Amino acid sequence: VTYFHQEPPHKVTITQKRPETQLEENFNLRPTRLRPSATTKETSRRTKSTDGFSKGSLAQYKNENQTLLLQVEALQAQMEEQTRLAKEQVEALLEDRKIKTEEAQAQRQRDQERIAALNDKLQRTQNLLHESTRDFLQLKFDTRAREESWMVEKDRLLRELDSCHSRLRKAGSSGAERGRTRQPSSSRAALLPRPQPKLGQPPRDELKALQEDLKQAHHLVEMYREQCIAMETELSQIREEGDAGREIFKDRSDKMAKRLQLMTQRYEALEKRRAMEVEGFKADLKILRQKLKDVEKQLLKVTLNVGPNQDLAILHEVRQTSSRTKRVQSELMALKAKIFGLENELRFS
């Protein structure tokens, strides 16, 4: 069986040649016009064979067209499914991107608020340190001024004490000399009356007053000494507290600086991660769009390839499939024969 393709391209003419009839005509000595019955039989046989083959080929073409249409529908359904999946994937990626962007913005807002709070706390701590340093310096100046006033008061009291001692010594020496000069002789003393005690009264009162002043001076000195010791103790405590506050402030400042640096690094890492995720989403979208374009191109090729201009290719495919079916049928017959032979052997054995 041979096939010839003629115009128009969507029409096919099939001719059939039988070598046996040609040999009979060649070996027959009579002309063909003297045998009308043989020619009519041969032509009728040819028309019947061509009609049968054309009907079979048309049915096969219809089946092939049906299968191709089913394939096209399957490809269209597959393309729609892939398009839908791609759209869903793109929507999911966009939703994830939106969620991550919102999370990054929220995290950035929280970090900014935390940084602002830490900056406010640092500012307040600096202000407190400044005020405490100012108070400490003011207290130090006041303490020095008090110490100077105490020293002046101490010197004044010491001078007064020295003057009291000198006056006391002078009063004692003058009283002794006055008693020696006024002592009478023994005979005259026995006759004369004793001196009145009024003459010795003023030195005793002055002595008592000086003793009272001395006691008060000692009392004031002790009191001022105790106050000076208490103020020195308070000053040392204030110095220790100032040093401790300075150390605590330094430690807190270092910790705040480290935390601020850590927050800055985390914020930069989040920004970098967000940029990388955006680039990844863009790359995924680009790949999905390219895949969608490839699927559309393949579908377009399939839809363009199936048409009336592809009859010759379909005929070649039909011819190949027919030869394959014949070969498979022959192989099946051989297998059946072998199976029957084996069954007979098993039966008779």
What average pLDDT does this structure show over 311-332?
75
Residue 161 is encoded by which pair of tokens?
Answer: 């004490």
Give pLDDT, residue 26: 45
Q: Give CB contacts under 8 A, 24+ apart, made by 340-349.
A: none
238 in Cβ contact with 136 (< 8 Å): yes
Buried b / exposed e over 106-139, threshold 16 CB at 10 Å, is eeeeeeeeeeeebeeebeeeeeebeebeeebeee
Please give the residue that has the higher pLDDT: either 179 or 338. 338
Task: Give the helix/strand (H/E) hosting 186.
Answer: helix 186-191
Percent of the chain scored above 70 by pLDDT?
A: 70
Please give the residue that has the higher pLDDT: either 19 or 73. 73
* Average pLDDT of the residues of the chain: 74
Instruction: Average the pLDDT over each of 119-128, 153-162, 237-246, 314-323 and give the range with the smallest value.
Output: 314-323
φ, ψ (nearest 5 deg) of residue 108 = -65, -40
Give pLDDT, residue 47: 57
| pLDDT one-digit tens code per residue, 54-90 | 666 777 778 888 888 888 888 888 888 888 888 888 8
Rg of the chain over all Cα atoms, to the nearest angstrom: 67
184 in Cβ contact with 192 (< 8 Å): yes
Please give the residue that has the higher pLDDT: either 303 or 87. 87
Please give the residue that has the higher pLDDT: either 298 or 18. 298
> Which architecture characterizes domain 2-30+38-178+200-317 according to CATH?
Orthogonal Bundle (1.10)
Give pLDDT, residue 4: 43
Query: With 50 as the cut, is the pLDDT of residue 253 above it?
Result: yes
Residue 275 is encoded by which pair of tokens?
Answer: 């940029």
129: helix, strand or coil: helix
Q: Report which residue type is found at 129.
A: L
Query: With 70 as the cut, is the pLDDT of residue 179 above it?
Result: no
| Distance from C-alpha of 297 to C-alpha of 302, rounded to nearest angstrom | 9
235 in Cβ contact with 143 (< 8 Å): yes
pLDDT band of residue 197 (cuts 50, 70, 90) is very low
pLDDT band of residue 225 (cuts 50, 70, 90) is confident
Instruction: Choose the most confident range, by mean pLDDT, from 216-220, 286-290, 316-320.
Output: 286-290
Query: With 50 as the cut, is the pLDDT of residue 27 above it?
Result: no
Query: With 80 as the cut, is the pLDDT of residue 180 above it?
Result: no
What average pLDDT does this structure show over 188-212?
56
Query: With 60 as the cut, is the pLDDT of residue 167 above it?
Result: yes
Give pLDDT, residue 1: 41
Please give the residue that has the higher pLDDT: either 118 or 298. 118
314: exposed, middle or buried (Cβ count in 10 Å: 0-12, 13-18, 19+) = middle
Query: With 80 as the cut, is the pLDDT of residue 193 above it?
Result: no
pLDDT band of residue 40 (cuts 50, 70, 90) is low
The residues spanned by each domain of the chain are: 2-30+38-178+200-317
